[in-house]
Structure 1
Amino acid sequence: MFKLEQTKNQVKLFGQLNFDTVAQLLNKPQINFDSAEAGEIEVDLSQISRFNSASLALLIEWMKIADQKGLQIKYHSAPEQLMKIAGAYGVQQELPLTSI
């Protein structure tokens, strides 16, 4: 199960962010980048219960979309295990990702 809530600049993700849900989100993006104000979007990852390398692919893709629209995207409250996966893949420095 996966859920996304957005209010202008704030996005909160809930549930599992795995191969199945990421595939759905890549085919039909859920974030409305055009509603962002002040040139920034903040994504709260604290309620993600399951994740894997596909999760990183999604976060990188959203970062690219935000950049194309002239926005900054920040991911905060990432679970420690997600931070470790990002480190293992060598993308922790590239992603605007902070832990819980």
Structure 2
Amino acid sequence: MSKLALIEQASGYYTLEGSLTFASINKQTPKSFRLLKGMDSMCIDLSHVKATDSAGLALMIEWVRLSRMSRVQLRFENIPDQLLALAKLSGFNEIEYFTSAK
């Protein structure tokens, strides 16, 4: 299991490292988005994500929901192909958060 870490690279720019899988995501993981308070926008770079599954997509959708509630403009960069395929199957690839592919 690869631990999941959200690392701040610059103000509003984060890198997600590890795996976006059932094994690495728990009930506390969505709470990492408490950092949204006081931000106008946030970008998450997924280029360091090692593996992903439907739990990763569910987490991203939860983060989108939380960003909307906090009125923070969120975008994802370098989304892994496997995650884009899952998003496409689910119909989530058509929203603005999932458009920046590798």
TM band (smaller chain): 0.7 to 0.9
Secondary structure in 2 matching 1:20: coil
Displacement of 1:19 in angstroms is: 0.9
- Stretch moving more, 15-24 or 72-81: 15-24
Distance 2:6 2:80 in 1: 17
1:22 equivalent to 2:25? Answer yes
Q: What percent identity do the matched residue pairs reach?
A: 24
Determine if contact 1:8/1:35 at 8 Å carries over to the other structure.
no
Other-structure match for 2:94: 93
1:56 is matched by which residue type in structure 2? L
Query: What corresponds to 1:8 in structure 2?
Result: 11
Q: Deviations over 1:27-53 (max 9, x none)?
A: xx22311252xx111010111011001
Residue 73 of structure 1: aligned partner: 74
Q: Is the 8 A contact 1:9 1:35 kept in 2?
A: no
Q: Which runs of 5+ in 1 are unaligned?
A: none
Q: Deviations over 1:40-80 (max 9, x none)?
A: 11010111011001111111111111111111100110111
CA-based RMSD of the aligned residues comes to 1.5
Contact 1:43/1:75 (8 A) holds in 2: yes
Q: CA deviation at 1:94?
A: 2.5
The one-letter amino acid paired with 1:3 is A
Give the CA deviation at 1:22.
2.1
The one-letter amino acid paired with 1:43 is: I
More strand by share: 1
Query: Displacement of 1:95 after TM fit?
Result: 5.2
Query: Which amino acid in 1 is paired with 2:54?
Result: S
SS at match of 1:19: coil
